[in-house]
Amino acid sequence: MKILSIGPDNTVFDPNSRVAQRQIEYGKLFDEFHIIVLTTKKDLHDIKLSPNVFLYPTCSDSPFSYISDAVTIGHKITQQTKIDIITTQDPFLSGLAGYRLKKKFKIPLHIQIHTDIFSPFFKKAFLRNRIYVIMARFIVRHADRVRVVSNNIKKNLISRWNIPESKIDVLPIFFDIAPFEQKDGFLAMYDRYSSYHPKLLVVSRLTKEKNVALAIHLLADLLEYYQSPRLIIVGDGPERNNLENLSRQLKVDHFIEFIGHQSRLIDYYHIASALIVPSLYEGFGMVITEAFASACPVIMSDVGSVGDLFFDHENVLVFPINNRVKLLLAVRELLQSTVLRTKLIEGGKKTILGLPKKDEYLQLFKEGITKTRD
């Protein structure tokens, strides 16, 4: 079976990235796996990621030409090889490109949804997101099969958009627990941060919807109760300058560390008092499972898989979206109770042990793709 995938993540061109490694694993499931990447980067070129995984960057002049560029590349690919199924990594621009190719070449279309497009905060975050929701509704209704990362998204597809349950597969992103159980660099990291309490961690792309500003306000509030708190922010993005300016305005910049992207996160999870997830909306939330595997308690906003995989006072602490007071209360509750901390850590371990293992996940992914032709 030959698959054409369309998506916007250009980190796949780094063969050592997790995205690239995941695509290589997908390629092993099929005869050929062709990936069109929506990007404005001009220095990328067509490459063979593995013996049967091929990458094609659109190198578009602007995002406005993503769809036409992807369709042009898709046309060339279908002239060279018979594509059996098209899968897109989102129901937005990638999805629209996939839909156009489906109509043009009569190829079954498989759509993936990785974020909670039904969250009211998704619509409010950006004007384009309102357009995306309209686009997604149209595309999903014309898809032959849909893969989502949580039951919450599935329920909304059924109740709000009348998508038949038989067309929907629920499959979270695969998570490998083993690397996050290693503690070889733990002691050095512990010594580095031993004088700080509490040590709060944010691991996130620095974009508006991740709402990292709330964590900075939290640190300002914590100074009323603790003399030496530390907020470690791992990640980069377009909001970094604004967040650094906010920390200076609140006079908490001496208590905050922006450390950018880190390839090794394990030790940060191990030394943290808690992982803070302040997002306005999420899909699955990979960082939460990473924290679970590292025995790091999680305090998160009421987004994504809350009520599905994540439950308040069972494996996470949940606070209302963008509620600064409730977040402070949750942090203080956790810091004052070793019993609660232990309960959350144990609950997190049980959660990840219940997720599909690698072989099972890949088989479920293959089945979902294959059923698209039925």
pLDDT at 124: 84
Alpha carbon distances (Å) from 176 to 29, 147, 293: 18, 20, 9
Rounded Cα distance, 279 and 286, in Å: 13
Helices vs. strands in the chain: H and E counts, helices first? 14, 14
pLDDT tens, residue by residue, 187-240: 777 788 889 999 999 999 999 999 999 999 999 999 999 999 999 999 999 999
- Pick left, alpha or beta for residue 96 (phi over 0 → left; psi -120 to 50 → alpha; otherwise beta): alpha
Q: Has residue 181 got a pLDDT over 70? A: no
Q: Has residue 356 got a pLDDT over 90? A: no
% of the chain beyond a pLDDT of 70: 98
pLDDT at 212: 98
Chain position carrying tokens 């294959």: 370
pLDDT at 186: 65
This prediction has a pTM of: 0.87
Mean pLDDT calculated for residue range 175-180: 74
Give the chain's domains with CATH numbers.
2-174+356-373 (3.40.50.2000), 178-353 (3.40.50.2000)
- Read off the pLDDT band of 78 (50, 70, 90): very high
pLDDT tens, residue by residue, 281-338: 998 888 999 999 999 999 999 998 898 889 999 999 999 999 999 999 999 999 999 9
Q: Has residue 263 got a pLDDT over 90? A: no
